[in-house]
Amino acid sequence: MCNPPPPTPSDNGKVEIFREVDAMKISKLNISKKHSIPKRTLSTYIKNMGAIEDAYATEAFASSRKRLRPAKHPELEEAVVT
């Protein structure tokens, strides 16, 4: 029986991971183990750090979203939200 994949961190969690990476107090391997994410995923987060931090700072997306993909029909999305 396969183990389920670990939960993907939200934008808030990713920003916390970035702060740990910037501090460089522990290695990337230990950071990935601490947050239960694969090392390759951590590398992808670091590669996309600028886009993730911009979306977090501008609050363009809800912080609980896991993907930074805009809606195909923004007018419809706005109507549903309001």
> What are the tens digits of pLDDT across the range 45-79?
889 888 877 777 766 666 666 666 666 777 876 77
Kindly compute the dihedral angle of the four CA atoms of residues 44, 39, 7, 76, in this order, to the nearest 10 degrees. Answer: 0
CA distance 46 to 3: 26
CA distance 24 to 27: 7
pLDDT tier for residue 10 given thresholds of 50, 70 and 90: low
Residue ranges per domain, the chain?
A: 11-81
Top-confidence range, 21-25, 33-37, 56-60: 33-37
Please state, for a pLDDT cut of 90, what percent of the chain lies above it: 5
Please state, for a pLDDT cut of 70, what percent of the chain lies above it: 67
